[in-house]
Amino acid sequence: MDILALKQIMKTPPKALKADDNIERAIDFFFKTGVDLIPIYDEQDNFMGIVTPHDIINRYAMNRKIKGRVEQFITADRCRIISLQEAAAEIDMDERITCICDDGKLVGIVRMEYLMDQLKWTNDILKQFEDRCEEYEVIFKNYYDSIYDIAADGTILMANPATKRTIGMDPMGIIGRNIREMEKDKLYFPSIFDSVLTKRETITIVQNIEADRKAIVTGVPVFGENGSITRVIAATREISALVDNLEKSTLIKDMEALQWKLQEMEETAETYFSEIRKLRKGNKEKIRIKTQNSEMKRTIEMCEKVAITDSNVLILGESGTGKDMLANFIHNLSGRSEGPLIKINCGAIPESLLESELFGYEKGAFTGANKDGKVGLIELADGGTLFLNEVGEMPLNLQVELLQVIQDKKFMRVGGSKEVFIDIRIISATNKALDIAIKNGEFREDLYYRLNVVPIEIPALRDRREDIPGLSLNFLECANKKYKRNKTLSSHAMNMLINYDWPGNVRELENLIERLVVVSENDTIYPYDFPDNIRMIDPVYERSWIEKRQGETLKDMVEDFEKEILKDTYMRYKSTIKLAEVLGVNQSTIARKMKKYNLYLED
């Protein structure tokens, strides 16, 4: 176990006593605090050992007396004292308490239950979250009715597979289209969308579908905190035969039957929409960014503080550190979480198109424009959050217009004469030094101060190496699931990941793990599977391994190295016969050495 992994399960020692303190003080401390051990130090503040209630009871059982100095009650039976380096090399998780020291000072305590509790808690949380997400994904994909999630401007944000059965179109083909455009194309009409916006309540109507079919559609408004409608959820069920019979029939019982069907469908739709709202809320509550790095923890705490406000945020950090993830985190914790999060990469959109993409345009604004005009990304973010990624790449002429939008909360579309009022919160991100860009005349100083109300910096991955094991295992699990593999990382491979500097940060780590899962030949990923630029760091790692073991005999170091070779090679081939062939020795030699090192034998 390396030092980083050890620090994750190590706990800070409780208050200590001096060796000459009397035992009555220790007993009083046990009763008042409820702790089950107390560290003991000598006069020079060197750690001597621990005293536990178990030690006191044993002494009392032997002589029926509990008097004297606390140092007399120290026992080695339930305590093992080792250095930080020894613990990192090998630590036994038995029933004893392991006290880890550095230069005579107690730096931490490790017990088996610490690790087990941490693993159990983490696994339980992940399992609950995965199970709930899978349940609702199954409901959404298999629900009989066609379900649409429509933004306040009419843009379709989500559609389930039943859409294909209802209107004959793949759901991915209508996501991003406007519901009013589809009504004009007679895919279905009249649209329920505008009725829900006007009446601000759940409505059910009979709707025409192309090819002279009929359907019942229920529209449910979703309100934001300010009382405005942020979404309309629509559920459509084709009932052509039922409606045709109703139109031809004058019998009251047929009317009653249809009314009952309408009521049943409305109740079903309302239940489903309620579950969707719960799922969205639950997912937001469960969003967590896990880290072991103190600087990254402060970054997350700052995000949590600023999320509840409407202040503009500027996220700073190298490429690949996760600025997009942090923007999502802030939006989902904010009061605007029910509204849209519109993302714009200012460096990815050509300068000639950026203005029309941001502000939209009126019909006939320029040659080649959509005949009906287009809503801009800023307008789509109304009631929610606008995320400007790589904002340092924005052209100067657009910086002026963006500054005006921030100040006035309004703008005009390209080619338009009518002002559009908006309510947005802006989160920006850049890997560019904006102060230098300002000096070079590439970025406006007044816009910088408008965007940089709350600056938040993400540390590079090389500065938070303690997060690399957790990120690597998470990416490995995702890649295994994606490609239906069962790959694991060897200990040497993990050490290489920790020691690499990661110029591409988290994005580079994620891409590398996916590549290793795809191209590595064995179920265990070894250092030789890595690309050359990462393998180059291995000699440094090997030298540090030797330096850490200074003072040990050559025999001990050779035996440990031999054990690692056997263990890693056996994990690859799972056969002593194959091991003997690969390593060029007799099978009996392999069997004898594996027995010596207590390694598992098969065949």
Q: Does the 294-459 domain belong in CATH 3.40.50.300?
A: yes
Residues in the chain: 603
What mean pLDDT do residues 306-310 have? 91
What is the amino acid identity at position 484? K
Distance CA 445, CA 603 (A): 73
- For residue 442, pLDDT over 70 is answered with yes
Q: Where are the domains of the chain?
A: 3-110, 143-283, 294-459, 465-596
Local confidence band at 174 (pLDDT 50, 70, 90 cut-offs): confident
Question: Exposed, middle or buried: residue 453 (CB in 10 Å: 0-12, 13-18, 19+)?
Answer: middle
Q: What is the pLDDT of residues 7-53, one digit of tens each?
A: 666 777 666 788 888 888 888 877 777 777 888 888 888 888 888 87
Claim: this prediction has a pTM higher than 0.85: no
Structure token pair of residue 509:
């780590």
82: nearest Cα among 67, 97, 65:
97
Domain 143-283 is classified in which CATH homologous superfamily?
PAS domain (3.30.450.20)
458: nearest Cα among 310, 342, 329:
329
Domain 3-110 is classified in which CATH homologous superfamily?
CBS-domain (3.10.580.10)
Query: Of residues 286 and 194, which shows the higher confidence score?
Result: 194
- For residue 172, pLDDT over 90 is answered with no
What mean pLDDT do residues 224-235 have? 86
Distance CA 173, CA 188 (A): 15
Distance CA 269, CA 403 (A): 43
Q: What is the pLDDT of residues 362-399, one digit of tens each?
A: 876 666 556 667 888 898 999 999 999 999 999 888 89
**What's the CATH class of domain 465-596?**
mainly alpha
- For residue 564, pLDDT over 50 is answered with yes
The label of the residue with tokens 């509790």 reads: 117
Task: Note the pLDDT of residue 391.
Answer: 93
Q: Which residues pair with 375 in a beta bridge?
A: 360
Q: What average pLDDT does the chain have?
A: 80
The strand pair at 229-238 and 213-223 is best described as antiparallel
Instruction: Provide the CB-side half-sphere exposure for 87 (13 A, CA).
Output: 25
Task: Dump the DSSP string for 436-453.
Answer: HHHHTTSS-HHHHHHH-S
